[in-house]
Amino acid sequence: MGQSHFELEPPYFTQTPSKLPAKNHFCFANSIVSASHIPRRRCDIYDLHKELVPYAEAWSWQNAIVEEKKALSEKNEDLADSLIVLQHHPVYTLGAGSSEGFLNFDVKNPPVDLYRTERGGEVTYHGPGQLVMYPIINLRYHEMDLHWYLRSLEEVVIRALSSAFAIEASRIEGLTGVWVGNQKLAAIGIKVSRWITYHGLALNVTTDTTPFQHIVPCGIWDRQVGSVKGLLNEKIMSKGCREDNHLPDDQELIDIAHKSLITEFCEVFQVDLGINLYDEGVWKTSSPATSKS
């Protein structure tokens, strides 16, 4: 059985800095980025997409990076953006104001670890086969607009699904996330402190969706949770069982989705990848180092 980790308590307020010039401007209806005249920022990456990382460990990395960025920002020093990509061991997480009424189990005896976090949104599940992206970026150098940021994260997933798998995903008005029909493929929950982002998005690639049955995902009763693998299987079945209709194995699907997500993240946010800090071994420290742009 898992453990409950409910140490955090609201409220979670952030300070509002002075306005800086906006950088990127999107017309999502036409998938147009009109920021080509803006120098692209560097984004260092912690690429652990083949690893299963305990939630608490990844959470501590995020907080360490955020605190370093905030400290340097107060000195008017800039850091490269950061991006953590990984998979998690099975875990349920709740947002700061999430209702325990969306849990279909005893909060004191969860089936896997359970955390209440400072992000927005309701309860969700993370586990193997799900790619999680935690962008830690300073919105002062992008757009100081949370609506823009949420729509940009959705845009990353929508483009990645289209380019990698020919899956036509979309948004649903009034809801956050990425959908194919009635199925939610990607969940998004963020926290922004002094315009520095953390937490992020999770895309179900080869995820076993059974654990979602123990919760009301994102507090939405009348929608389903799907995966890339599930949709591709449906497409194959609809075409008939010919010999040439087969899926890549799970790891190949993860690798394809990972490459596409990274590519589209760089395009949507107009950044260039810098150092892979996982290769450098920096991720193993208690305070992951970041580097100046």
Nearest to 64 by CA among 51, 48, 46, 47: 46
Alpha helices in 219-288 (DSSP H): 228-239, 250-268
pLDDT value at position 148? 98
Instruction: Supply the residues annotated as catalytic.
Output: 218
DSSP character string of 144-196: S-HHHHHHHHHHHHHHHHHHHH----B--TT--SEEETTEEEEEEEEEEETTE
**Helix, strand, coil % in the chain, rounded to nearest 5:** 30, 25, 40
**8 Å CB contact between 104 and 213:** yes
User: What are the start-end ranges of the E strands in 77-171?
Assistant: 81-88, 91-94, 113-116, 124-126, 130-136
Q: Domain spanning 37-89+127-206+225-281 has what CATH number?
A: 3.30.930.10
Report the relative pairing of strands 81-88 and 41-53 from DSSP bridges: parallel
How are beta strands 91-94 and 113-116 bridged, if at all? parallel
pLDDT of residue 281: 63
Whether the CB-CB separation of 236 and 246 falls below 8 Å is answered with: yes
Average pLDDT of each block of 10 consecutive residues along the chain (293 residues)? 57 27 36 56 96 97 96 89 98 94 94 96 97 98 98 99 98 96 97 98 98 90 91 86 74 98 98 84 50 47
pTM of the model: 0.85
Whole-number pLDDT of residue 293: 46
* Angle formed by the axes of helices 250-268 and 228-239, nearest 10°: 120
In terms of DSSP bridges, do strands 196-204 and 130-136 run parallel, antiparallel, or are they unpaired? antiparallel
Residues written for the chain? 293
* pLDDT for res 9: 37
Give the pLDDT confidence score for residue 6 in this predicted structure.
52
Here the tokens at position 76 are: 């008017």
Phi, psi of 77 (to 5 degrees): -105, 145
Specify the pLDDT at position 24: 38
